[in-house]
Structure 1
């Protein structure tokens, strides 16, 4: 029935009878240059240091900035930083902020804000946690200058401080950043090129960002997240359209200008319109994954996690989630095939499913048919479809799967619940992550297996894997780093922090009167022009 409804809606659009989305219809008189976007999900969590989900990261990059920023090739460049230097022994780094930086409430950005923000980030993020292992302290020199001292050299520090993946190291006001890092910040006051319009925020309908008239961009040309963040529209509105056919019709009739993640089955339809372009905005393929909760049985036992690998066929997931094989490929690398770190070392045994081995490992783990909660959402259609594939595959080898659907905001909120299933917890979820996130051992949130509950939802713990990940960061050159990455990958293949489901390319669709999209880990909204 969903498919029938989609095609009926599209037929209506092509005959000039497209349904008008409620949120767009209710939009009040707006500034002249308004960019309307259908994002892939609704915005529930406003704090990009608390949550690693993509929609919150997109939101965070609208209103906050970071000290450094990655270009389109994932190389770091100064962003909020004006100048920096490193001591000869590599054990201290000195930084000076750009002059004139100020928050949306008019307060100047100071070294105190930076230090409080970095401390909060280090307590939350995979990359930040690795920096914390090396850091020996931070101190403000004056209002614009500060020093980071290290226990041992870390040449990747600028790369880390510019991270655009996981929980990003945005600079908040000291008063916000000093709050409990285990609770999300609810104030949304950054220093970036857009201001969050809380008064016009309608959960489930519309999120509004206004151009920050006080923002002074860097002078360099825009390149990925780096360079000048020049805003060329007055306002950006995210119009929430969970129904793909509604979004497709709205794009064709001009109610929206950009569809961030068009449904793969509707890409050929919208691509036929002379007023629409379908393109890629990332240089690396994205990764799909099945993430288990390592805190409770059965997935606290690596044999049960290995059973996931032997029970599943990547092709089944990718075909269900992303349709035509031109958009996806099998890949067993945690660090993304096609990236500099894209090894598949250690995964040869389960390149193809082996249900008998899966059943044996599951029995050896002590599993006796207890209910396994797999929570998911159709708000992001590929994730919902892949969750269905997961449920069916796991039932075949003996898992008692309880597949539960809700909205994506509820799913991501539930992911933070560390309690057992009886207390609202979970056992499994399917999700996706950008290639930029997963391509490096320092940024891959899923392969952070730091003990003590400091890792991403699922909370794996493996001291050997963490030792090997540290060896990658410490490697003195590229050759040594490759050897260290292979050794790490073999260990990850044994302990399975998550089941890699393969990789895919996510297109976006835009009206032809929109230009200036930048290649980046997530969609960006500066540099875009609308004619």
Structure 2
């Protein structure tokens, strides 16, 4: 096990001595420190959480799930389903305008669903069952299916199916958009965006909230600030000082080691806002040596230690974490099947023996690590030490998160700009069921970064979609977890709940899978 203190930035431990008297805050401006740089503001092109957070500010969705994870109409006035479940008729609600003051129309919705459907797990399933999508009139469109899809409202409401103007939505799903016009509660101020430094959003004065209380991603999105400013602060000590002094109002992802100090800091409050937390992940590239070798993946499994990762990420705040399988704990789909394979006794000598027997030829393993995300950097350092301990030629490669996100999309060999491994986290909601669990997919190049091909996993996923009752779905998920421990699309490294930190004059936070900026107000 590595010394977790070695993964912390040098100034972080001294942050407790930096506190200054709170600055007078502009009550109309909310100043926020996000978890990472906004390098790619297209939430369809990338799965980066920071882009999803940006997406919910700028765009809106047809449905939105509530705190019970049930899909509710959001941009829609309502929907009708035929008795055979094959035809869905959807009607937009009144008052929807794009940020350029043009009306939101049915013709915008169809290409938006189609673009999202090429990248998202639920979306891919929906597209495979869709016979036709057509405009009925400016406010009404229809989706005709070949088989029933009872998860329609959840799919369109839980997984970032952001509705964009037709001209933007027609962009190829594997090409980044360059225009960020939405109909959501905030306007993205593109001219003020400086990647690596800042981003800014203005209240959309023409946005008409639903007349309902906010719940997760559904309900009334009431904005109480004229402007939201994102300030990129990769150094945790700098962010901690800014929060304590009142230079910023909200720090999304405080360094775990600073939590005891922040708990006692005047004017600061800590809250857990994500009900399902996050799943730690070690991703591997199944299309390139050496991780195209199933025997090598099994060698890793017998010795990888989730407690090492939780120690590096959580330190003495272990109450915020627990071991985890391929579906997040707290979800009805979570299972204990074969969990002894990852949380049972670890066997380092056996792992080294299995590496030697696997045919591994000593190929360099490019392990990407984000220099500007402390948790992920800590995970990467654990992974680097672990790989080396079992005889793998790990090459720890540091870069900022934006660069990592771009590089992980490359299919090139690792010595030509590609990669072999990286660490990340997935929001608990996304890995709570087979429909949204993108890293569990076995659909090759159509799937998540690492691109494993596993027809049996895809068949089980199809079976889950076709199973109408919860007990049957849970049985399928047990089979999926059993298969995942055999073929190892990724390595889960634990589940943890990271508190967010904010000034204590802020209230009204909406609990959801990402930080939300409606409902928040200054008292």
Distance of 1:374 and 1:459 partners within structure 2: 16
Question: Partner of 2:3 in structure 1?
Answer: none
**Match status 1:91 vs 2:86:** yes
Equivalent runs, 1:392-471 vs 2, <5 Å: 392-451=385-444, 453-471=445-463
Matched-pair contact (CA < 8 Å) for 1:311–1:394: no
Q: Deviation at 1:346?
A: 2.6
What does the per-residue CA deviation read over 1:17-61, in whole Å, with 9 as the maximum and x for residues that have no partner?
A: x9x9xxx9xxxxx97500001111110001111111000000011
Q: Deviation at 1:397?
A: 1.2
What does the per-residue CA deviation read over 1:360-417, in whole Å, with 9 as the maximum and x for residues that have no partner?
A: 4434442111101000113110110111111111111111000000111111111111
What does the per-residue CA deviation read over 1:163-210, in whole Å, with 9 as the maximum and x for residues that have no partner?
A: 24xxx2101111111122111101000000000011222222211000
Give the direction of change, closer, same or farther, for the CA distance of 1:140–1:490 in structure 2 (3 Å limit): same
Give the direction of change, closer, same or farther, for the CA distance of 1:222–1:105 in structure 2 (3 Å limit): same
What does the per-residue CA deviation read over 1:256-314, in whole Å, with 9 as the maximum and x for residues that have no partner?
A: 11111100000111110231111100111311010000111221222222222223111
Distance of 1:323 and 1:31 partners within structure 2: 36
Matched-pair contact (CA < 8 Å) for 2:268–2:503: yes
Equivalent runs, 1:141-160 vs 2, <5 Å: 141-160=136-155
Aligned length: 516
Equivalent runs, 1:490-505 vs 2, <5 Å: 490-505=482-497
Question: Partner of 1:163 in structure 2?
Answer: 158
Q: Deviation at 1:4?
A: 5.4
Distance of 1:226 and 1:467 partners within structure 2: 32
**Match status 1:362 vs 2:355:** yes
Q: Secondary structure at the match of 1:138?
A: strand
Distance of 1:333 and 1:9 partners within structure 2: 35
**Match status 1:13 vs 2:15:** no
Which moved further from structure 2: 171-180 or 306-315?
A: 306-315
- Structure 1: which 5+ runs fail to align? 25-29
Question: Partner of 2:57 in structure 1?
Answer: 62
Give the direction of change, closer, same or farther, for the CA distance of 1:483–1:3 in structure 2 (3 Å limit): closer
Q: Secondary structure at the match of 1:429?
A: strand
Question: Partner of 1:314 in structure 2?
Answer: 306
**Match status 1:340 vs 2:332:** yes
Question: Partner of 2:233 in structure 1?
Answer: 241
Distance of 1:58 and 1:88 partners within structure 2: 37
Question: Partner of 2:376 in structure 1?
Answer: 383
Give the alignment partner of residue 39 of structure 2, picking from 15, 38, 44: 44
Distance of 2:356 and 2:146 partners within structure 1: 45
Distance of 1:329 and 1:33 partners within structure 2: 36
Give the direction of change, closer, same or farther, for the CA distance of 1:350–1:259 in structure 2 (3 Å limit): closer
Question: Partner of 1:35 in structure 2?
Answer: 30
Question: Partner of 1:223 in structure 2?
Answer: 215
Q: Deviation at 1:85?
A: 1.1
Give the direction of change, closer, same or farther, for the CA distance of 1:237–1:355 in structure 2 (3 Å limit): same
Distance of 1:440 and 1:363 partners within structure 2: 36
TM-score, normalised to structure 1, is 0.94
Q: Deviation at 1:441?
A: 0.9
- Structure 2: which 5+ runs fail to align? 1-5
